[in-house]
Structure 1
Amino acid sequence: MSELETPAADGFRSHRTERLELHALVMEHVEAVHDVYGDPATWSHLPQGRHATPQVTAAMIAKAQPSWHEYGLGYWSVLLKAPLPGCSLRPGEIIGTGGVSVVDGDVWNLGYRLTPGVWGRGLAGEIVREALACARAVAPGRPVVARVLSENTASRRVVERAGMVLVREETERSGPAAGRKRLIFSDRHLP
């Protein structure tokens, strides 16, 4: 279990899991976050979603920040606490983002994106479990959903291992994934 800090006015803005440090995603992280979001390898399932410029990443961060102010929880910058065996990334380095943010005022949207150098080490699962625990602590009545492209089997396994269940399939109507199938997972039954 993680070392959740007592939720105060700042909620879960900064805390730790077994191997990660999680800090509220802020504009000061734009360069490091852009290194992840601008890397074509992190977009293997949706190449057209890649961030072409730091300004695109800054706009994503700006869009994510209100969730912290309005709901006490949002997306984190994810950093390593200690070296990972066989990994060149250093402790304290931002390796991606993850967490939950309120969508349309009624559900938490779960998401994460990590640099390929840490894939396959269980870190996505660690982020997802922490995000679910924090969402339940902040607003237990608000469902958590994860939207996964149907061909992204690794992300599907991550959310299923965290106990989320497939509730429906839909076709994206707009944005970079327009026309693609998404699997919608939730931590509970949705009406």
Structure 2
Amino acid sequence: MTSPHAHLRTERLDLRAVSYDDLAPMYELHADPEGWHHFPAGRHTEIGTTRAFLELVVDGWRADGLSYWTVRPRDAETVIGLGGVRRLPDGTWNLAYRFATSARGHGYAQEVARAGLAAAGEVDPAQPVVAWIDETNPASVRVAERIGLAYQGKRTNADGTLMLVYADRPLPAEPSGTA
């Protein structure tokens, strides 16, 4: 059964469920050092890291009917980013957006984040949507605030990193999560 969220179109973007066929463009996106100024340790230096990441994302589509999308301009086939929501082990939806350097500054992150927020609300509105953001990443903070997420304070994620947390509703004292 195909999820109704597996292929969406926004005003300017084509959002498609991440699949194993996306390994090459996802590796290129996640291996680009320009995309990891705020969290250099997150950069994928081996394609196996990207493959393992794709397994989590594809499993999310199977389990929940919703996970991250590849992002393309509506008029092109080139993957320019990744975004949307993926369920974490604690049940919350993790909001993420990562774009190629050439695609930044066009408001695409807000567009895909809004689509992810809406899709999470349709699939499982009982669970909060949470964005875990490195405190040195003001652009990500602006995206979270512009789509209506509220600052929940600093919390430690599942990897043990202290992060800024934004969510669509008040959160319990100390959720765990990971991107």
Give the TM-score, by structure 1 length: 0.85
Match of 1:46 among 33, 39, 49: 39
- Opposite residue 70 of structure 2, the aligned amino acid is S
1:74 aligns with 2:59: no
Superposition CA RMSD, Å: 1.5
- Residues 1:150 and 2:131 are matched in the alignment: no
Q: Report the counterpart of residue 16 of structure 1 in structure 2.
A: 9
In structure 2, the residue corresponding to 1:169 is in which secondary structure?
strand
Structure 1 stretches of 5 or more lacking a match?
Answer: 1-7, 83-90
Give the direction of change, closer, same or farther, for the CA distance of 1:149–1:163 in structure 2 (3 Å limit). same
Instruction: Return the offset for 1:77.
Output: 0.7
SS of 1:101's partner is strand
Report whether the alignment pairs 1:138 with 2:138: no
Residue of structure 2 equivalent to 1:86: none
| Correspondent of 1:125 among 95, 105, 110 | 110
Aligned residue pairs total 172
Q: Tell me which amino acid in the other structure corresponds to 1:123.
A: Y
Q: How big is each residue's C-alpha offset from its partner over 1:128-182, in whole Å with a ceiling of 9 and x where there is no partner?
A: 00000111011111110000001100000000000000112024573xxx5x531
Distance in 2 between residues matched to 1:149 and 1:75, nearest whole Å = 19
CA distance in 2, matches of 1:173, 1:143: 17
Structure number with bigger Rg: 1
Distance, in Å, in 2 between the alignment partners of 1:154 and 1:9 is 34
Name 1:184's counterpart in structure 2: 165
**Counterpart-to-counterpart distance in 1, 2:141 and 2:16:** 25
The 1-side partners of 2:140 and 2:13 are apart by 19
Aligned-partner Cα distance in 2 for 1:146–1:56: 22
Cα deviations across residues 41-89 of structure 1 (Å, max 9, x unaligned)? 011111121101222111100111121111111011111113xxxxxxx
Write out aligned runs for 1:44-123 (5 A): 44-82=37-75, 91-123=76-108
Separation of aligned partners in 1, 2:158 and 2:60: 24
Mapped partners of 2:157, 2:72: distance in 1: 31
* TM-score, normalising length: structure 2: 0.91
Alignment of 1:26 with 2:11, yes or no, is: no
Structure 2: gaps (5+ residues): 173-179
Quick one: distance in 2 between partners of 1:95 and 1:23?
A: 12
Counterpart code for 1:149 = D
- Secondary structure (helix, strand or coil) at the match of 2:143 reads helix
CA distance change for structure 1 residues 173 and 146 in 2, over 3 Å: closer, same or farther?
closer
- 1:9 deviation in Å? 4.2
